[in-house]
Structure 1
Amino acid sequence: MTTILVTGGTGTLGRLVTERLRGDGHDVRVLSRHAEPYAVDLRKGGPGLDRAVDGVDVIVHCASTPRGGDEQAARNLIGAARRAEVPHLVHISIVGVDRVPLGYYKAKHAVERLVEESGLGWTVLRTTQFHDLVRTMLRAFAKLPVMLLPAGVDDQPIEVAEVAARLAELALEAPAGRVADMGGPEVRTFPELARAYLRAEGKRRAVLGVPLAGKAYRAFRSGGHLAPQQAVGKRTFEEYLGERVAR
């Protein structure tokens, strides 16, 4: 039995990683700001973090927020892992963090570099956007009578449970460095995704592409966030929506 710490273990991804590993019989500790007995704010660190990592074989680092603080959180986690001599740190990242000059992507890329330079055994997996995130974005766009979408941008959403399964596999393997990216099964235009969302929700909206400005938008238009050569995901966006509606 392996002892594994999952940071962000109550989140969308971390919860599924935790369930998967526990289902396979491993001892899993969940670290988040409010999950006892390992309630820790990674951005602040402290003795609670040292207790959480003490004696673990693997850390799966899922904790992240676009509101800022990921780099400091990673520094604190890596420092604690070094002190505890943790053999393996697995980190989840995003396809395109080195190509799309978006603030959150830049922070995720900086965390990758911290992991690589940590002196620990490490594994980094990048994936495309989760179905959940794309649905949340489209729900926000659909609040208006006309869905205004970024013109010329495609996406490649992936099922979060498939990513969780891959992370669980990597946690039980030897440190592998940067592993192959995971992309969703299909590269789709945003209008296609929007119309699929509207059909599933039984809504009617006009869909209009709006050109935007800036380097990040140009990078998204050029597909910097896509992994068409690694379209390993199985579940389509329509299949995901169908289950959500059924619930």
Structure 2
Amino acid sequence: MSVVLVTGGSGTLGRAVVRGLVREGHRVRLTSRSPRPAEPDPGVDWHTVDYATGQGLDAAFAGVDSIVHTATVVNGKRDAALTRTVVEAAVRAGAPHLVYISIVGVDRIPFSYYRGKLAAEAVVRESGLPWTILRTTQFHDLVLRVLSGLAVLPIMPVPSGIRVQSVEVTEVAERLVALATGTPAGNVPDLGGPETHLVSDLARLYLRARGKRRRLLPVRFPGKVFTTYRNGEHLAPEHAHGTVTFAEFLAEETGKSQ
């Protein structure tokens, strides 16, 4: 089996990718900003690194066959710089297959984080490495965090006219595992969730599942970013290949918290 490294392997997506690789019997390494836990998952080689300086990356990347790059930061410019540091270390390691996870709409939505992801894509394409890039829609986890934050108020504001096509993170991880253990494929088809809903409809699902009562206040946010969201530039209806709906995800999460 191949040796696969996951950057950001302690994050939400990274953990799911690591678990998927371990299940398939691959030798797995991960890099993380976090210190190695006292009892790491069996079969996983943990490397604590500094993505800003590249410290620790050369040792972690030595001898790997492929890298799934899930490490990210909210600041767009820093995210592109982080990816460049990862790419440079991968080149020094002998040019393994680099798989990069991006977001549907990064080339159409003028949001600073998205611009950083688009710049990071360019770094990957121009790296000279064998590469694969997958864009996905937002994760169910992110939608849940946003709704949870909005629901702390007695009146719950929700962006009006915006639809969401969220996808289950484990399904994204499965796709990344398949890509990382396959041949470099360049830009691959997007991966979107199975359904598209207005944010207000998802808010009602959330409130019902949590047993909360809130009045919803539709808010039409101004600006180019929200205009592109209302235009659906972040959606991939022709690539609705996910199978787990937000309602199913929410029921699972609600069961865990009880």
- TM score, norm. by length of structure 1: 0.97
Percent of aligned pairs sharing the same letter: 52
Correspondent of 2:61 among 26, 50, 53? 53
Q: For 2:96 and 2:72, how far apart are their aligned partners in 1?
A: 22
Checking the alignment, whether the CA contact within 8 Å between 2:83 and 2:120 is kept in structure 1 is yes
Q: Name the residue aligned to 1:71.
A: 80
Correspondent of 2:246 among 224, 237, 242? 237
Q: For 2:64 and 2:58, how far apart are their aligned partners in 1?
A: 11
Are 2:9 and 1:9 equivalent residues in the alignment?
A: yes
- Could you list the structure 1 runs, at least 4 aligned residues long, displaced by more than 3 angstroms after superposition: none
- Secondary structure (helix, strand or coil) at the match of 2:17 reads helix
Q: Name the residue aligned to 1:84.
A: 93
Which letter maps to 2:48? Answer: A
Correspondent of 1:100 among 109, 114, 117? 109
Q: For 1:132 and 1:70, how far apart are their aligned partners in 2?
A: 21
- Secondary structure (helix, strand or coil) at the match of 2:251 reads helix
Q: Which runs of 5+ in 2 are unaligned?
A: 37-45
Q: Name the residue aligned to 2:22.
A: 22
- Secondary structure (helix, strand or coil) at the match of 1:79 reads helix
Checking the alignment, whether the CA contact within 8 Å between 2:4 and 2:28 is kept in structure 1 is yes
Give a deviation string over 1:161-201, Cα, whole Å, max 9, x none.
00000000000110000000000001100111000000000
Q: Name the residue aligned to 1:189.
A: 198
Give a deviation string over 1:2-44, Cα, whole Å, max 9, x none.
0111000011000010011011111110100124451002122
1:61 deviates by 0.1
Checking the alignment, whether the CA contact within 8 Å between 1:102 and 1:216 is kept in structure 2 is yes
Which letter maps to 2:132? Answer: T
Q: For 1:195 and 1:17, how far apart are their aligned partners in 2?
A: 31
Q: Which runs of 5+ in 1 are unaligned?
A: none
Q: For 1:177 and 1:122, how far apart are their aligned partners in 2?
A: 6
Count of aligned residue pairs for this structure pair: 246
Checking the alignment, whether the CA contact within 8 Å between 1:92 and 1:124 is kept in structure 2 is yes
Which letter maps to 2:115? Answer: K
Checking the alignment, whether the CA contact within 8 Å between 1:53 and 1:86 is kept in structure 2 is no
Give a deviation string over 1:127-161, Cα, whole Å, max 9, x none.
00000000000011111111111111110010000
